[in-house]
Amino acid sequence: MAEIDQKRDGSLVIVGQGALVEAGGGWVVPELIEASGARVRNRILDYLGAKIENDNTRLAYMRVIAKFCSFIEDQGGERLQSVAALDIAAYLRSLKNDGAAIATQKQHMAALRMLFDELVTGGAMPFNPALSVKAPRHSVLKGKTPILTAEEAGELLRSIDTSTIIGLRDRAFIGCMAFTFARVSAVCGLDVEDLFHQNRRLWLRLLEKNSKHHVMPCHHTLEHYLVEYIDAAKLIDGAVPLFQSIDKYTRNLSGLRFNRIKAWDMVRRRAKDAGIDTKVCNHTFRGTGITAYLENGGVLEKAQQMAAHASTRTTQLYDRRGDQVTLDEVVKINIRG
């Protein structure tokens, strides 16, 4: 949960746990919200602090609300209660004019609809002005996340120097994402006690999106990575983070949880060191694992269960088997330049 704090200058700040703290984030309540009265301000703080469980969603919605309030202030607005559908439509056009992607526009509209709905149900506004504003249509048939081939992923993992605790940690971390299809936040959230043995195999207990508890058995390669890392790190206490940041002075584990921002830096650095040109991200290994599984005869419905997706349509966004077919066909275009 997030907590409300007060800075020395008297301005209210809402700070969350997990990703918000790790990103060094805090949220100063916009002046437009302060000017709208205590009822509006407290309702919004309660909504952000208590009703949004996911820290990443909370951080994204905080940014949307701050940006929207700044826009309304620039248009001469003085209170949220005076916002009309035309104002929200104008804000949506400003996002489009600034080059915001359709997915970004839809995210902003979702955040604003939920914001005003919260004010309506709390009796702070008579109706929701965002309901009559149509968000742009967005149809995605293929995901944009860059993925690696199974060969490239293997090269990356083998290229990591495992003579240090950092190397062992990074290899195990990337392995978790690739072999369990887990989201980076779920891997960051693992504690030592979330590893357990069952049926002669090591299993992981992951906390996925929407607080979904998801249990996955480890591939034998991943089990090897994890056992080597845990033994070298001497991680005995079950209530400590499995993946930890590194103390810059001792070069040992710090005891602090490794976060997705540092993970992003790490995977980019490891890919570069392995000579891989693809601009990888944390999600790359989720898509890489799913595609490798399907290429090897895996079933889409099983991939959905393993990835903890709500629908096979989401899983299909990570299926890049068609990319190779396209490449094979492109080389048949026999034009000599």
Per-residue pLDDT reduced to its tens digit, 158-210: 999 999 999 999 999 999 999 988 889 999 999 999 999 988 889 999 988 77
Q: Report CA 328 to chain centroid distance, whole Å.
A: 33
| Domain spans of the chain, in order of start | 3-121, 150-330
**Mind spelling out the 3-state secondary structure of the chain?**
CCEEEECCCCCEEEECCCHHHHCCCCEECCHHHHHCCHHHHHHHHHHHHHHCCCHHHHHHHHHHHHHHHHHHHHCCCCCHHHCCHHHHHHHHHHHHHCCCCHHHHHHHHHHHHHHHHHHHHCCCCCCCCCCCCCCCCCCCCCCCCCCCCHHHHHHHHHHCCCCCHHHHHHHHHHHHHHHHCCCHHHHHCCEHHHEEEECCEEEEEEEEHHHEEEEEECCHHHHHHHHHHHHHHCCCCCCCECCEEECCCCCCEEEEECCHHHHHHHHHHHHHHCCCCCCCCCCHHHHHHHHHHHHCCCCHHHHHHHHCCCCHHHHHCCCCHHHHHHHHHHCCCCCCC
| Cα distances (Å, whole numbers) of residue 166 to 221, 234, 282 | 18, 14, 17
The β-bridge partners of 27 are 14
| 42 burial level (CB within 10 Å; 0-12, 13-18, 19+) | middle
Cα-based distances in Å from 331 to 232, 328, 336: 48, 6, 11
> In whole angstroms, what is the distance from residue 101 CA to residue 138 CA?
10
**Residues pairing with 208 in the sheet:** 212
Report the range out of 19-28, 42-51, 177-186, 288-297 with the highest average pLDDT. Answer: 177-186
Q: For 3-121, CATH number?
A: 1.10.150.130
Residues 6+ apart with CB under 8 A from 121: none
Relative to beta strand 195-198, strand 212-217 is unpaired
**pLDDT over 70, % of the chain:** 82
What residues contact residue 261 under an 8 Å CB cut-off, 6+ apart? 19, 22, 23
Domains 3-121 and 150-330 share a fold: no
Whether residue 18 has pLDDT greater than 50:
no
Phi-psi region of 190 (alpha: psi -120 to 50; beta: other; left: phi over 0): beta
49, 3 contact by CB (below 8 A): yes
Fill in the amino acid letter for 23: A
pLDDT at 164: 94
**Rounded mean pLDDT of the chain?**
83
CA 187 to chain centre: 11
Residue 13, pLDDT above cutoff 80: no
What is the CATH T-level fold of the domain 150-330, as seen in this structure? Answer: hpI Integrase; Chain A (1.10.443)
- Residue 201 has a pLDDT of 87
Query: Quick one: pLDDT at residue 239?
Result: 86
Per-residue pLDDT, 335: 60
Residue-wise pLDDT for 83-132, tens only, equals 999 999 999 999 999 998 888 999 999 999 999 999 999 888 899 999 98
Higher pLDDT, 37 or 304: 37
Q: In this model, does residue 276 exceed pLDDT 70?
A: yes
